[in-house]
Amino acid sequence: MDVAITGCSGLVGSALADALHQRGDRVVPVMRGTGLGLRWDPAAGVIDAAGFDGLDAVVHLAGEGIGDKKWTPEQKQRILDSRVRGTELLASTLAGLDRAPGVFVSASAIGWYGNRGDEELTEQSPPGPAADFLVDVCCKWEAATAPAQVAGIRTVHLRTGIVLSAKGGALARMIVPFKLGLGGRIGSGLQYMSWIAIDDEVGAILHALDEASVTGAVNATAPNPSTNTVFTKTLGHVLHRPTKLPTPLAPLKVMFGKEMVQHLLVNGQRVLPERLGATGFEFRYPDLDSALHALL
């Protein structure tokens, strides 16, 4: 397959590119700057449309990081715009091609469901309240793929959970404090963390590319989400470190703001990958203990 990838240099994008290369596919990076691959600039509405003509698939992973900077009004707008504008530009471009790709896998996130306590959530569950920032972002993000769907391109909304990797993301940021014995539950510890190992995240994308029955919303989360307390204890056990002291939230709220801390650390979703299971996907790491041992 000839597969174009936006966000190719990110944690998931780089791992996906490696996996595609290993199985003999051709990867076409979509980048803002010059170099090998296709050029685009979502903010300016610029894209190398002709370069997408005849490709087999497009995987759209690009977007402003949600946990990298404090959520000022300006940063929240960047988070929204980077997803909606980029997706709209890409979907509209693909829809207008003479030889459009057969499949368009567009990233989304489990933030679509909002803060739902211990409710079991599948792809059939309704979105959270529109007033929730991440719910609003995810709903508009997914809606932006409409031109591709209308054009008959098989479109997949990959609702990804917390991607676990020692090379980056949430887990990589946890390793040092946990090794120092400073890891502890966050808040009540009862909030669910719907996670997925990086190998299974890549595997889910490959499954979406290859399996024609996969369409619409797909939860990219392991089948056994854990509460923050269980996650904390399991990570401490794997690293052979104590986890008795709760993580103080006050300093985090000063650094990142109350809203960001509430959404990303205190809130939670218990998300189940019903669609992946129904279409025959098999997880390499369905439980947290095996995943963390393999990753660390």
Domain ranges of the chain: 2-163+194-222+269-284
3-state SS assignment for residue 133: helix
Domain range 2-163+194-222+269-284, CATH class: alpha beta
> 36 falls in which pLDDT band (50, 70, 90)?
confident
HSE on the CB side for 89, CA within 13 Å? Answer: 21
pTM, two decimal places: 0.96
Contact 185, 228 (CB under 8 A): yes
Alpha-helix runs per DSSP H in the chain: 11-22, 73-95, 133-143, 146-150, 169-179, 198-210, 228-239, 249-256, 258-261, 274-278, 288-295
Contact 252, 159 (CB under 8 A): no
Contact 166, 290 (CB under 8 A): no
pLDDT tens-digit profile of 46-86?
999 999 999 999 999 999 999 889 999 999 999 999 999 99
User: How many Å apart are CA 105 and CA 88, to the nearest integer?
Assistant: 13
Dihedral, 183, 188, 190, 192 alpha carbons, nearest 10: -60
pLDDT tens-digit profile of 215-259?
999 999 999 999 999 999 999 999 999 999 999 999 999 999 999
Beta bridge partners of 164: 197
Tokens in use for 18?
């490696």
